[in-house]
Chain A
Amino acid sequence: MTTKHRFARRQFLRGAGGAAIALPFLLSREGSTFAQTSSAPERLITVFFPQGIPASLRNNGFTGVLAPLAPFESKTTMVQGLNCNADSPNNGHSHGSAGFACGFGTPVLSTKGGPSLDWVVYQTTKTDTFLPTLSAGFSAGDDIEESVRFNHSWRGVNQPNIAYLDTLKMFQGIFGGQPMMPAGSTVDPTVALKARQRVSVLDAVVADYQHVVSDAGGYSPSIRNLISDHLDTVRELEKRAVALQLAANGQGAAPMIGCQTPLQPTQMDSILGPSVNGLDPKTTPYFTAEWSIIVDLYVLAMRCDLVRFGNLLCGSGGDSYGYSCPVGNTDNIHSNGFHLWANTDVRPIVTDHINWTMTNIALFLSKLDDPAFKDVDGGTLLDNTTVLIGTELGDDVANHGMTDMPFWVVGAKKRFKVGDFPIQGGRSDVELYNTLLRGTGINLAFGDQKYFNDVLPILA
């Protein structure tokens, strides 16, 4: 590729006339296209939690284990009774994890069978945020060869949006180690030079990838496809580098109100550690503390409009770890907890664990619903975000049941009826995913269409 071509492409990135393209976190609401519209942008976050919830614990509304979700009842569509038909080379945890927010099974557990819901909406809406998606959460690290159990945002087959399991890496991934420099800031020549050189390097890197992908490269179709997938991610990186270059030159716009780079968080990694304040990784107190940081970073990224799509991971499918609570202890909440649901001595511990999970998820919802941070239409971020909460197992958690799967759709711009919808007739999770897309105005066939007959009766 010639220098001329590269320049032309960079001009495109910067927008006509040298103006910055809409990289929202650098824009004030008053000055941005985003702000000039009265409708909030599309957002969709999936939240995955493992092990399922027995039906008996979810048939009394927002009480019991679901009490943590009660504050959001007026914004929630609860859907039960769906089947997950996804197949995979392992057990129910793998099937359900593969199918979650994707609607396909998979012949290999290193990849989901298609793009995930968040990615499809991101692409369809042509969203142009600093980060396309954000995936983060905690995991006990079991079944590491089964990526489908802990990665739930996928661009397509073999294209994971890998989840951050480390708070520091997540912080760096979001904020890039760069200060947000509003327009008119004093320009530091050294910073500006480095920013310019970074873009130049990435320019050369992109050209290299493009050559491999091109007919002139001389590589096989499979290599070209692989490198093309990688190229997409380099382009995203370059776009962020260009935005930061503009900011370093004092040409960036003011950050959004209430949007500032936070202090670097304590490093926590749910699998690898380090231990923090006496808490060891792979324990629920550690998960709780790490989740709090992850939720703070995630919600801040959304408030700053750095990202609108992604996944939060509240544990991996089939995770195994000890669990202690006032009603008892187990050395393995998976095999000596959920698997023994029939045992009345074990049930209270499992019940408490589910309540703990719902409390974690409620923390995310409450921060999105904070009225101090209003969206462009005056609603909360939660009001204008489709939050899909789901899990990998249905009612019969002890036997890896794949029927009567529960889902919660929260916020979603009031597109869906509020209430509890026990769906009869063996309908599928694929039908829910397609219903969400239709409600969003996206008429794409999503997931395995063998299991789609019609949208579910939840559209408002």
Chain B
Amino acid sequence: MIRLGRRADAKDLDEFQRLRSKRLLILSALPFILAATALLAIFIGSLGPIGPGVETETGERIRMSFGDAFDALIHGHGDWPRDYHGTLWDVRIPRVLLAGLVGASLACAGTAMQAVFRNPMADPYIVGVSSGASLGAVAAGLAGLSVMAVIGPIVTPLLAFTIALMTVFLVYFLGTSKGKVYVDTLLLSGVAVAIFLDATRSFLIYYDRQEFHRVIFWLLGSFALASWTSMAVVGIAVGIGAFTVFLFSRDLNALLLGEETAHNLGTDPEFLKTLMLIVAAVMTAAAVAFTGVIGFVGLVIPHMARLVVGADHRILMPSATLSGAVFLIWADALARTVISPSELPVGIITAMCGGPFFVYLLRRHRIRGGA
């Protein structure tokens, strides 16, 4: 019996339509926010128009104007400050772009993982990517590969990337039985494998204490080693990965209602889970290989985006990806200015923002019974 007298409430519906338009508006604003963020971040620094400025020989603090900075960016210039054009193009721009791409990759991978694990507390490192990558990096250092001429700078990321992917496949293999992916087993396998790899890494560090610094770098993450090469590699991984996740965003929606429902809506849940795991792992491994383990972005950004634009992946996934980029560019800008002229590992900034927010989410989850 359809109860009579409970007609659709026009006010609720209006509100609902407004909410939907608001969400689309937020999504369409995000690319502009990202562009503005990137442009601002490029000019943040001791030499740039945003920053503490530089002390001249006379003890005077002076700062470039935005106009000069733009000129320097585009045309290059001669007298002052020296090498500003070079600094921008060789260091600052690749660094800002890399921060954006890594943020995008972690947020996108986190969104996909949360859908695959049907758990809003999942993050891109859940299947052991970070442990594999940091072990690879430490191993590269120990073997002396990282100081080799020419190929040196690329060997460490390459080894980190390779071992990270191998770890993911091992975890995937452990969590799969007869072609069926069991997400609970997968999650626990990820924990078990990570414990083992972390212990191996600790053993290697103990064996050769000089590796300690490298490990700190991997564990806290930094964009200090950004280059056009690393930017390009991560860019390709993010481009392909994010596009793939976006193509399957409706299927991810369906998966969140259960595998039976996903199957009934024409999706192959096993294929979808496997594809998403691979795509997310490649994106995460590429990011980690060049910048180390930057925590909380992949967990918190998708979560925040979901609070604002809702759970529909067609809007959520691009929103989270763009927000991840914006967030990490700002975090990096903070990391390199807060104790200028030296800099903090960016992972400290993200963890300091992420930790309290995570607690807030947990409490909210407990109280509201939903995320």
A binds B: no
Chain B residues with CB under 8 Å of chain A are: none
